[in-house]
Structure 1
Amino acid sequence: MLLKRLRSNNIPKRFGLTALIAGAMAAVFALAPAPSSAQQRIERELRVDGRSRSYIAILPENVSSGKALRVMMAFHPALGTADFMEKTTRLHKAKGANNFITVYPDGFRRTWNAGDCCGLAEKRNIDDIGFFKAIMADLSTIAPIQKKAYITGYSNGAVMVYQLVCKVPGLVAAAAPFAATHPMKNCASGAVPLMHMHGASDQGSPVEGGYAKSAAMKKSLGYMTPAAEVVAIVAKRNGCTNSTTKKSEGSLGTTCTFYNQCNGNANAILCVIPKLGHTWPGAEEAKGAMGDKFGPARPDLNGSRAVVNFFLNH
């Protein structure tokens, strides 16, 4: 049974984030603009497997239209929070985001159990797939929603995105992971459109795979599948041909690789972003002791717009 509590619509004061993952280290990020007057910001608490879990949701202006709405869910990096993901990505402010309920969930002790990663969530075998399902069930009590969610994630959040694509593809409309991969083994069958984004200068989760340059992340993440390899796996699952096409993506400042002729328009796309480290495209430079471990930031980009555009096309 889910127990839920609706909290204040005001932006919360908490934005604590310990120094380690992906631009979160004592970083000086500008606060995200508050939702427009047409949007409504709510915070929800659920009881899942005997534990209190929480998420933030930004409801669009047409929430009371009676039409089944799309859900866009964004999973934060390890040691991040829902607040951090909201303020860093500003997904709910991206052009076209008003077509979605935007959800920022909180991980268990700031981590997600993505199968073989990460932190306390993995160690305690937290059922984060169950949490995902519980969020969708809770949202359905607020407004009519579509069955499948659009999901994006950053670092450990990206691994969580892949875990959902792997284990419950029937509940995922499209996926856009950033800055981490997944072995995609022992997965359920099902095609899911996917756009993988990765910084070419990522020191925390190298795009070519292998181990992180940071000792702390190396211990936490272990060996990482190369980005090109995991996208090829997804392409095969999606029934794409082996041929690829290069297309420019202006919001990411790069040319992406598209696998062709996929089943049901389930594209598999790889976007390697030049001169970008382990920091969300569009976020500011990380500051502090760990900042130099993750490579450069690219505040000139707009990763959130690229994500929303991809979702709108699926």
Structure 2
Amino acid sequence: MRLIAAMSFVMLLAIASSAQAQGERINVQGVERTYLLVGQKKPARLPLILALHGNRGSGAQFARYAGWDELARQENILVALPDGLNRAWADGRPQAQFRGKPPPPGTDDVAFLAALVAHLVQQGYADPTRVYITGLSNGGAMTYRMLCERADLFAGAAPIITNLPDAVARACRPSRRVPLLVMNGTADRFAPFASQSGLTLGHEDALAFWRRHNGCGEIDARRTLPDRDPTDGSTVAVTSYACPANARVLSYVIAGGGHQFPSIAKAPVLENLLGPRNRDIEGSRTLWDFFRHP
């Protein structure tokens, strides 16, 4: 019942935000797909962030929840927020392992997201050398899958508040190294911080997986960020590793953080169910700062 209530709330957010957003459309493999594009919509070869919503969310909902529209205006970048079919992403897990609603059988989201990047590059909107991907929850797991299958498209990635599906990790053969930021909360009941045998790799094991792939060594530096809001029940620790150039791996651990995208500006939502929303960092800006300084 708690999960149903949480997802119902996300649905309400999605419906409310979609009414205020103008979506774009693209046909991929005979299926009409939709996405929201925020930022300067004219040929300018701008940096592009592909931002993937969580299960039962939408691009418009994620834009409002995480402040992507504000960031795009402030930084003169593009953010594309695509919509998953059935409000879900085919992130490589068997459908039986979805805790929310799964995508339709046969959904090829790898092809969709690759086609969307190619479309925005061909239109002259996006710089193909500065394309980045991030995602929340189910969208974060899809981010991992895109790294495994289409690393060639991205100059940086950031799976957020999510786990690496075991099925994806076992088949993962990335074509190149990509700078990676991984962020998780230790009190997340929906994307547990620890690994779940046969199901997902938790925060530390996912980090170890990508550190090996990126050729990283041991810890280079670790620091705890200022506790800007002592009432939010959480703090943030950042760990960096000794990695080759253009292959940096960064860990953000939100001690006491729940299944929430951190934000200073955005109000908490359903904290009694989803857990604390950290208010020490602005999540979207944290990710952009990482992408532009890999």
TM-score computed with the length of structure 1 as normaliser: 0.76
Which of 267, 278, 287 matches 2:259? 278
Q: Which residue of 1 aligns with 2:36?
A: 56
1:147 Cα deviation (Å)? 2.3
* 8 Å contact from structure 1 (residues 70, 101) kept in 2: yes
Which stretch of the first structure deviates more once superposed, 184-193 or 129-138?
184-193
1:231 Cα deviation (Å)? 0.9
AA aligned to 1:263 is P
| Residues 1:56 and 1:26: Cα distance change in structure 2 (over 3 Å) | closer
* 8 Å contact from structure 1 (residues 23, 294) kept in 2: no
Q: Which residue of 1 aligns with 2:273?
A: 293
Q: Which residue of 1 aligns with 2:102?
A: 120
Q: Which residue of 2 aligns with 1:134?
A: 115
1:108 Cα deviation (Å)? 0.8
Residues 90-239 of structure 1 aligned to structure 2 (within 5 Å): 90-94=67-71, 98-116=75-93, 118=98, 119-121=101-103, 124-148=105-129, 149-182=131-164, 183=166, 184-189=169-174, 190-210=176-196, 223-239=199-215
AA aligned to 1:154 is L
1:93 Cα deviation (Å)? 1.5
Greater RCO (Cα-Cα under 8 Å, separation 6 or more): 1
Please tell me the root mean square deviation across aligned C-alpha atoms, in Å: 3.0
- Identify, as 1 or 2, the structure richer in helix: 2
Aligned equivalents of 1:264, 1:22: Cα separation in 2: 43
2:221 corresponds to 1:240: no
| Residues 1:307 and 1:232: Cα distance change in structure 2 (over 3 Å) | same
| Residues 1:23 and 1:231: Cα distance change in structure 2 (over 3 Å) | farther
1:23 Cα deviation (Å)? 7.1
TM-score computed with the length of structure 2 as normaliser: 0.81
| Residues 1:134 and 1:191: Cα distance change in structure 2 (over 3 Å) | same
SS in 2 for 1:168: helix
1:126 Cα deviation (Å)? 0.8
1:96 Cα deviation (Å)? 8.2
| Residues 1:125 and 1:236: Cα distance change in structure 2 (over 3 Å) | same
**Overall identity of the aligned pairs, in %:** 26
Residues 249-268 of structure 1 aligned to structure 2 (within 5 Å): 249=225, 253-260=235-242, 262-268=243-249
Q: Name structure 2 gaps, 5 residues minimum.
A: 229-233
* 8 Å contact from structure 2 (residues 237, 255) kept in 1: no
1:268-294 deviation digits (Å, cap 9, x = unpaired): 11111123200111143334xxx6332
* 8 Å contact from structure 2 (residues 235, 256) kept in 1: no
Aligned equivalents of 2:127, 2:34: Cα separation in 1: 21
1:255-310 deviation digits (Å, cap 9, x = unpaired): 211111x22231111111123200111143334xxx63321223453111101111
Aligned equivalents of 2:142, 2:173: Cα separation in 1: 15
1:89-147 deviation digits (Å, cap 9, x = unpaired): 112323886342111100011000011164432x5131101111111122134324222
SS in 1 for 2:212: helix
* 8 Å contact from structure 1 (residues 42, 58) kept in 2: no
Q: Which residue of 2 aligns with 1:302?
A: 282
Aligned equivalents of 1:311, 1:97: Cα separation in 2: 15
* 8 Å contact from structure 2 (residues 190, 259) kept in 1: yes
* 8 Å contact from structure 2 (residues 24, 35) kept in 1: yes
